[in-house]
Structure 1
Amino acid sequence: MNSRNVLLVTAFVCFGLIGVAMYLQHVLFLLPCPLCVIQRYLFIGIGVACLIGYFGKSPKLGAGIGLLAALGGLGVVSKHLWVLAHPGLSCGIDPLETALNKIPTATAMPWLFYADGLCENATDGFLGLSIPQWSLIWFVILGVTMIWLLLRKRA
């Protein structure tokens, strides 16, 4: 499989993960917290970067941008897991949530980017792992994929 095809598949995976987030929010009524919303932005960022690499002249450029977004995602999800591991802490209604909900994408698409949940409530899980733990796994997989594409000799 060539690099462009890997980028395209990776973009579809990222947008599929956003579809899962929409299902969790709108069907299972799990409200996203500010850290969840930031993770959504980063998954979309990886997907868009992969599309840039797929359609652009340099697949490595897309992989590089995607890697930066994946690393950002690892940082955000690590903070989220830290909050979950320390009961009594919250990232709830705070300046981050207020600022995040004023970003134009949040006002234009609140069904996707509006944060109104609490970080410490993200313990509902699937197959024994919480949603942030699944995000961590996916950010690792996506980051390793981007590194593999960057280190790969052939395009």
Structure 2
Amino acid sequence: MYPLSSRQFFLLGFLGSTGLIAMALYLEHIVGLVPCPLCHVQRFAVALFGVVCLLAAVHNPTQVGSRVYAIFTLLSASFGIAAAGRQIWLQGLPKDQLPSCLPPMEFMLEAFPLQEVISKVLHGTADCAEINWTLLGLNLAQLSMISFILMFTLSVYIFLQKKQQPAN
């Protein structure tokens, strides 16, 4: 039995990221959790990872192409690690040191230049420090960090794969 091909690993990455987005939407629309700015950033990183994985799985590139796609998935996973890390750090701050809350996104997009909106969202707010839901003692930011580390690890594995197996 052959080990999985890079195409199959990219498909696995796509399916995993789809599951993460589905879970995030479930928690938002069914459970009623309101995502903070850093949650939106993490969703973007997961979606970007998933789109790159889907493109790679459909394209089924050679070893060099797989490595190029793996670099893009590494970048999106790294972006997610940074956002989840920022949120975990904010959750550890004393309440008096938390950044102030932001106005609604629609207002910010109308009132501020896009560069300033992006900066404010990436900085995080006091909303990002709230822990409203846990699973096995881990909050959403910690679970996201674990997911991004798994995405990063998958990307490194694909990048380091020695040879491309024939596609099934």
Report whether the alignment pairs 1:154 with 2:163.
yes
Q: After alignment, is 117-126 or 46-55 more displaced?
A: 117-126
Verify the 8 A CA contact 1:45 1:69 in the aligned structure 2. yes
| C-alpha distance 40-4 of structure 1, shift in aligned 2 (>3 A) | same
Higher relative contact order (CA 8 A, sep 6+): 2
Percentage of pairs with the same residue: 30
**Counterpart Cα distance in 2 of 1:51 and 1:95:** 32
Residue 115 of structure 2: aligned partner:
none
Change (3 A) 1:152 1:5: same
Distance 2:100 2:149 in 1: 23
Does 2:137 match 1:128?
yes
Question: CA offset at residue 96 of structure 1?
Answer: 8.1
Q: Which residue of 2 aligns with 1:70?
A: 77
Which of structure 1's runs of 4+ aligned residues deviate more than 6 A?
A: none
The equivalent of 1:59 in structure 2 is 66
Unpaired segments ≥5 residues, structure 2:
113-125
Q: Are positions 1:145 and 2:154 aligned together?
A: yes
Q: What aligned pairs does 1:61-140 form with structure 2 within 5 A after superposition? A: 61-88=68-95, 89-90=98-99, 92-93=101-102, 98-99=108-109, 118-140=127-149
Per-residue deviation, 1:92: 2.9
Per the normalisation by structure 1, the TM-score is 0.82
Counterparts of 2:79 and 2:47, CA distance in 1 = 12
Size of the alignment, in residue pairs?
A: 143
- Consecutive unaligned residues of structure 1, counting only runs of 5 or more, are 103-116
1:45 aligns with 2:54: no
Q: Distance in 1 between matches of 2:5 and 2:151?
A: 16
The answer to whether structure 1 residue 14 and structure 2 residue 17 are counterparts is: yes
1:33-85 CA distances to partner (integer Å, 9 max, x unpaired)? 00000000000010111112112232222211011000011111110001000
Question: How far apart, CA to CA, are the structure 2 residues paired with 1:96 and 1:140?
Answer: 29
Residue number in structure 2 paired with 1:32: 35
Normalising by structure 2, we get a TM-score of 0.76
